[in-house]
Structure 1
């Protein structure tokens, strides 16, 4: 019983080490990996190579599948190109299995020691995350040595030998067990390394081990399908296509395993190398044979998982992809795109205000007010989505971006509420009462409204591009807008003094309107503050220093 518990603990440690390496590699290189994948889909062969490289770093084809699924779901990559990347991703996983199958246990204490030193010295920095990657690699190597030791002890028990001997009589059972283990462990790499170690320790025969490896490959494809079950159809197509490739590969390789055992096994030194070489050849041959079928399989998947036609009510493509949450940097990009849509809705509401004032269109006013419900719903969805992104997996820059997105969506939600209130006032105090602004007052409102729409567009650009120069320009517009608001309020009071009839009738609405427009402008300009603060362009406070009294020491400076 003790030896079994030791084996289970070693397997758990292997899976945990793989998880640490994958998670912290995404944290350190997430944005760069996404850029490499996005830029390498010009043709199928570069897509395969990018899949090999990215997955070799992540040590998980499932993680690569989730990133690629998010890209396809957002319309950033075509389905055939994504399937080509996944063929390379499987090759990348098998390459790492070849590396870890070597006896590298002597590196385990070195990696763990260096990793702990780096992590403790530089926590919450890129150096600290590199330390965690080294710790994960060290734990993987340590776990493999523990698996070997525990497996050797278990093989001494006759009951264990009799149980494992039953696997040799059923190829389908071997594939099923390998697939289940891969899904449960969330890592086909860990399971393949485990199978290789068990085969080398004579816990299972090489013949059984090869069947389990086929199952582990199938399980990695099934895992990606299960992980994206609740994602949009576009994101679910990539795992489904990859699973089809794996099913085709298993169907081709299962009958030919005898050839591998008779021709390759005698020329290989140990069982572990035989197993991992088989794993590599399976994925390499799949990539070579199926690279020309990406278009065909993409059509199959599009037929089985058709993208539903959308009507005018539900036709907008949502950017908050649940499958992207496994890759926080990708999920953050999804939240930014949804926040930009929220800002587009707010801009539509704001632009419509002037049309309502000029045309007295009650139906337009009602439809614009209803749009605030959309703004509120988008705010809630984005906020909830961001809370599901692991803050620990974000680096410092991404963490600040996370805060910027929250602040931006809050400001847009508040602007939507103000616009709704403005429309209600126009409806009650102008349209239903039959009143009109004076020509001079209408000209002032038109100018303020035009400046406000331009500032909103500038604020959206500042949020999207994170440009300090545009942020400075936005703050300059805030000062100019404030001066205009004070000037036009004074002009209105002068018209009241002159007993201008229209100004008297609409005085309350006019003053409230320019005051609300100023509030909206302040919320827009608030977008600039986090960007300028991060660059050190803002002073600790903006209060003017008091003038020194005559005769004081400061007055002599």
Structure 2
């Protein structure tokens, strides 16, 4: 029974450590997540900048796994080259060691003050920066408290024969220690928590130093597994290059360190008489040595990974750009034409989504085709690829007309991506409601909704033609469609409230659904108009800055 209680207490302390680490990570992500992601994206042009960005972001997030998943997504979407992405991961591996270095000192007395400070900050407005920072400060306090609890738990370990036998077995078999730490770091999604646990074990003399160093190497290996497993779900092998490259460099570090555990343990013992502090020093030194070894070799290493995992050219993939020719970027006019052709594919994909919604509305018993969600994701990726392509153009070689055309393509792509979001999150769920509730629309209402949808489809085709022809007459006709939908919404709203006075519950639900569908279609139509008509009307001075009527005296 004492052994069981000791194991439960140990598990609770480890869970508290993990929860504290999680709170630090989520608090920082909520406070600075978008800015961290943006800073990371901006730093990916050069290997040294990328290395420092990976170090800094991971030091704040306290999770190389979170950084790895973020950069793996960048690399898979083609937003960053493999070499700077590998640099980020080397920096991320070093960044995880900073909090371990801090906590290797005796700072447990700060735990109550940190938890109190974090609590006071957390009680601020939930939308404030202080609220999110409070979460992170509470997490740091909980981590210190968990480490203190672990030290107290390890004090009587020598009196527990079963635990003494377990740790002796781990201490005599470095391979088992490595495997145990790798599994622990993988399961916790955090090498920081695993290394802090090892530091506590070593600091209390429960683990011999060579076994503790083997567990540090194992924790480093385990934290590289999560991005790799995430990348395994990607159809394109190119999306697995970065996590595989990160895992391979850690395996190389393992192969170099394991035969040298005894002399490394002697060196660590010489550098620090405190075994726990020595584990922290080894953790930093190991990752720093890997960074120094791999940074100069990232060019050939990236080329090797590209040969091992060549990109799969799937012409059927709608999210893969077809016209964004890198060689054309030297000629802005040609590059802008290529981007315009690619933007028209967004209109084609949006039309497929609208036709899918129409099929569901025409047959209430039909289910939403699963490929419609894939179409929305393809629009997102294609829109991102178009923007990245245009961002690389030499703006100094562009004249005023080129700049105007660039803005037109960007606006077109942005508004169609937003229209696809409306279809995915609003129109399709509303279209599926009759089947889910068993309340189909009455035939007249169904015909009216299908007529509205066909009108949006027609406007979308006009918008695609406008992007290429830039005909001002067609732009005016398309812009007038916004007023048409506004009038239709006003009429439908009035009819809905008139029906509610005499209608049954079923009729009222059908009328409300019809109005919801019209509002979704009106919003989609607004994005279509803004995508193609407004830029042309603004160019010709035919677009008013405001629809608000001027009052007397405003003319002056």
Tell me the TM-score normalised to structure 2 length.
Answer: 0.64
Q: Which residue is equivalent to 1:31? A: 34
* 1:186 pairs with 2:179: no
Q: Which residue is equivalent to 2:260? A: 256
* CA apart distance, 1:124: 3.9
Candidates 127, 131, 146, aligned match of 2:130: 127
8 Å Cα contact 1:343/1:412 also seen in 2:
no
Aligned positions of 1:430-469 closer than 5 A? 452-453=463-464
* 1:18 pairs with 2:11: no
Compared CA separation, residues 125 and 343, structure 1 to 2 (3 A): farther
Offset from partner CA, 1:45-65 (integer Å, 9 cap, x none): 111111110100010111100
* 1:56 pairs with 2:59: yes
Candidates 405, 422, 426, aligned match of 1:407: 422
8 Å Cα contact 2:191/2:222 also seen in 1:
yes
Instruction: Give the aligned CA root-mean-square deviation in angstroms.
Output: 4.4
How far apart are the structure 1 equivalents of 2:118 and 2:528? 39
- Aligned-partner SS, 1:231: coil
Range with greater deviation from structure 2 (157-166 or 30-39): 157-166
Offset from partner CA, 1:176-205 (integer Å, 9 cap, x none): 111111111111100001100110111111
Candidates 5, 10, 15, aligned match of 1:7: 10
Compared CA separation, residues 213 and 419, structure 1 to 2 (3 A): same
Candidates 154, 158, 162, aligned match of 1:155: 158
How far apart are the structure 1 equivalents of 2:239 and 2:373? 23
Compared CA separation, residues 422 and 281, structure 1 to 2 (3 A): same
8 Å Cα contact 1:165/1:204 also seen in 2:
yes
Q: Which residue is equivalent to 1:525? A: 526
Q: Which residue is equivalent to 1:392? A: none
Larger radius of gyration: 1
* CA apart distance, 1:269: 2.8
8 Å Cα contact 1:4/1:150 also seen in 2:
no
8 Å Cα contact 1:411/1:523 also seen in 2:
no
Task: For CA contacts below 8 A with separation 6 or more, give which structure has more relative contact order.
Answer: 1
- Aligned-partner SS, 1:314: coil
How far apart are the structure 1 equivalents of 2:81 and 2:273? 43
Q: Which residue is equivalent to 1:177? A: 180
Q: Which residue is equivalent to 2:107? A: 104
8 Å Cα contact 2:318/2:375 also seen in 1:
no
Structure 2 stretches lacking a partner, 5+ long: 322-342, 354-365, 379-416, 432-448, 469-474, 488-518, 531-546, 550-556
8 Å Cα contact 2:350/2:420 also seen in 1:
no
8 Å Cα contact 1:455/1:524 also seen in 2:
no
How far apart are the structure 2 equivalents of 1:305 and 1:409? 33
- Equivalent pairs, count: 408
How far apart are the structure 1 equivalents of 2:485 and 2:100? 68
- Aligned-partner SS, 2:108: coil
8 Å Cα contact 2:54/2:90 also seen in 1:
yes
8 Å Cα contact 1:3/1:153 also seen in 2:
no
Aligned positions of 1:333-372 closer than 5 A? 343-345=346-348
Candidates 210, 213, 234, aligned match of 1:210: 213
How far apart are the structure 2 equivalents of 1:449 and 1:236? 37
* 1:94 pairs with 2:97: yes
How far apart are the structure 2 equivalents of 1:481 and 1:384? 27
Compared CA separation, residues 481 and 524, structure 1 to 2 (3 A): closer
- Aligned-partner SS, 1:264: helix
Candidates 219, 239, 257, aligned match of 2:222: 219
Tell me the TM-score normalised to structure 1 length.
Answer: 0.64
* 1:310 pairs with 2:325: no
* CA apart distance, 1:43: 1.8
* CA apart distance, 1:2: 1.9
Candidates 272, 276, 288, aligned match of 2:276: 272
- Aligned-partner SS, 1:121: coil
Structure 1 stretches lacking a partner, 5+ long: 319-339, 351-372, 386-401, 425-444, 458-473, 487-517, 530-541, 545-557
* CA apart distance, 1:301: 2.5
- Aligned-partner SS, 1:180: helix
